[in-house]
Structure 1
Amino acid sequence: MVGAAATTHRPPEIVADLRAVIKDYGSGERCIRVLDGLSLQVRRGDYLAVMGASGSGKSTAMNILGCLDRPSAGEYDLNGHATSTLDDDALADLRSRELGFVFQQFHLLPHLDALDNVTLPMIYAGVRQQERRDRAEAALLRVGLAERLHNRPNQLSGGEQQRVAIARAMVNRPSLLLADEPTGALDSVTTNEVLDLFATLHGQGMTVVMVTHEADVAARAQRILRFADGRIHS
């Protein structure tokens, strides 16, 4: 592996390209195959929902898409970068530049206000202080929290906290936003508000892949991918 991102000649409209990906855990008789030749292309501007029973491979696929795990075999290109050529440090750098993450739990730091929570990814990316503040304010404005910049998490509703988390995920202008059960901790009214926000962001050009177990949430996406036995069956 090398320490710099190797760029392939994939068309630029393909953001994520999984090709014949296999993921095994264990070895020999104890080997468990979780992904079995998975191929998937995520194109710029897609809004995909991922569904599947426990053990279907959807979480492992999301971990590979998020550069949190590596395939046992097969290839994964992220925005033209061949991830198999990268060492761990280079993969982490690619992840911070190209991906944004939204989780079921908001993972906000309780002692920081909304603005400071959103600036955190830019500190790690080496963005200068004034630009960090400007971009964080713009991201919070984009998710409808212009009046909540200086509120800490315990002063925000669940829906507002998730909006802060979404602002944080997109502040580094990622190529791909990965959302893992983003409405799982929210009531039905707040769920619809957050899904409306995802729809707005998608309409503005954001590429989104969202895992959910709720059919009505998945129905808000452009397309539903159903996982079973380590493959996509839809």
Structure 2
Amino acid sequence: MKKVLLQGRDICKSFAQNGETIPILNKVNMEVYEGDFTVIMGASGAGKSTLLYALSGMDSITSGEIEYRGKRISGLTEKEMARIRAKEFGFVFQQTHLVSNLTLFENIVVAGYVGGGRPRDVQQRASELLSRMHVDGAKDRLPSQTSGGEAQRAAIARAMIQGPGLIFADEPTGALNKSNSEEVLNLLSTLNSDGQSLLMVTHDVRAAIRGNRILYLEDGKILDEFTLPVYSAADARQRETQTTQWLSSLRW
């Protein structure tokens, strides 16, 4: 039986606009299991990114509970939540958010220092991750001197520097061309096959099929879910067909 890594119970998120309360998330109940590659899909405006940020503690919730490894994290102070994010969570966004005046290597080691790692250990792990992400040849370049794919792969290395329990990815291939997207998705699939847990938001079916579990969000609620075997490139076309058919049944 799979172990629950992250759990949300009755998560609600709303904001006030012109005297009205606008709901974004409406009593979302979901689990992320250890070792899974979980994907969140849905139409634009469904609340996908809002849910991701809420689960990671980057955004507050209006009501409900969120637990990580069986401990409640919703309601923690920002300082307490920041410690958890630094130690337990890795983040990959559509835009890399790399520091422009630091090299790729420096961007990664700085993230390692934030978690209190020893300089020698952090630098060694950063070098290993850059090699693993196939971007070690660009480690001394500034982000502006690299391709979009190289920068995103460096961002994944940065997300991995603390050995996180869970990586949150928000449209990680949204700003990349097809070849760079495939490289990034291949890396994420490899990380997952090595045991890394991932939670990814995407609108791209080719990205979604990398997951083994896809949740469909509509109007702030989980409408349905679709499960797949662990990703295999040999089955990619079949996975895409099956996933597209499932999405079509939901009027996606």
TM-score, shorter chain, exceeding 0.5: yes
Given residue 125 of structure 1, which amino acid in structure 2 is its aligned partner?
Answer: G
Given the two structures, how large is their TM-score scaled by the length of structure 1? 0.90
CA contact (8 A) 2:28 2:220 kept: yes
- Alpha-carbon distance, 1:132 to partner: 1.5
**1:177 aligns to what?**
167
- Structure 1 residues 98, 111: CA separation in 2 closer, same or farther (over 3 Å shift)? same
Do residues 220 (structure 1) and 203 (structure 2) align?
A: no
- Work out the number of aligned pairs and report it: 224
- Alpha-carbon distance, 1:12 to partner: 9.1
Given residue 54 of structure 2, which amino acid in structure 1 is its aligned partner?
Answer: I
User: 2-side partners of 1:55 and 1:191: how far apart?
Assistant: 23
Deviates more, 1:11-20 or 1:117-126: 11-20
Given residue 173 of structure 2, which amino acid in structure 1 is its aligned partner?
Answer: T
- Measured against aligned partners, the alpha-carbon deviations of 1:29-51 in whole angstroms (never above 9, x if no partner) come to 61112111101100111101211
- Measured against aligned partners, the alpha-carbon deviations of 1:102-158 in whole angstroms (never above 9, x if no partner) come to 011111122222211111212222212111101111211221223332222233221
User: 1-side partners of 2:90 and 2:186: how far apart?
Assistant: 18
User: 2-side partners of 1:85 and 1:35: how far apart?
Assistant: 17
Do residues 59 (structure 1) and 45 (structure 2) align?
A: no
Q: What SS does structure 2 have at the residue aligned with 1:31? A: strand
Q: What SS does structure 2 have at the residue aligned with 1:202? A: helix
Deviates more, 1:141-150 or 1:107-116: 141-150
**1:43 aligns to what?**
33
- RMSD over aligned CA atoms reads 1.9
Deviates more, 1:200-209 or 1:24-33: 24-33
Given residue 18 of structure 1, which amino acid in structure 2 is its aligned partner?
Answer: G
**1:4 aligns to what?**
none
**1:3 aligns to what?**
none
CA contact (8 A) 1:79 1:175 kept: no
User: 1-side partners of 2:98 and 2:77: how far apart?
Assistant: 29
Do residues 231 (structure 1) and 218 (structure 2) align?
A: no
Q: What SS does structure 1 have at the residue aligned with 2:24? A: strand
Gaps of at least 5 residues in structure 2 are 225-252
**1:145 aligns to what?**
135
* 1:82 pairs with one of 72, 78, 81: 72
**2:156 aligns to what?**
166
CA contact (8 A) 1:36 1:230 kept: yes
User: 1-side partners of 2:23 and 2:223: how far apart?
Assistant: 17
Do residues 108 (structure 1) and 122 (structure 2) align?
A: no
- Structure 1 residues 142, 19: CA separation in 2 closer, same or farther (over 3 Å shift)? same
- Structure 1 residues 12, 121: CA separation in 2 closer, same or farther (over 3 Å shift)? farther
**1:6 aligns to what?**
none
- Measured against aligned partners, the alpha-carbon deviations of 1:79-109 in whole angstroms (never above 9, x if no partner) come to 2321135222111111111111101111112
* 1:93 pairs with one of 83, 98, 119: 83
* Percent of matched pairs sharing the same residue: 38
Q: What SS does structure 2 have at the residue aligned with 1:131? A: helix
- Structure 1 residues 89, 175: CA separation in 2 closer, same or farther (over 3 Å shift)? same
Given residue 228 of structure 1, which amino acid in structure 2 is its aligned partner?
Answer: E
User: 1-side partners of 2:130 and 2:72: how far apart?
Assistant: 33
Q: What SS does structure 1 have at the residue aligned with 2:141? A: coil
Given residue 61 of structure 1, which amino acid in structure 2 is its aligned partner?
Answer: L
Given residue 121 of structure 1, which amino acid in structure 2 is its aligned partner?
Answer: A
Gaps of at least 5 residues in structure 1 are 1-10
Deviates more, 1:197-206 or 1:128-137: 128-137
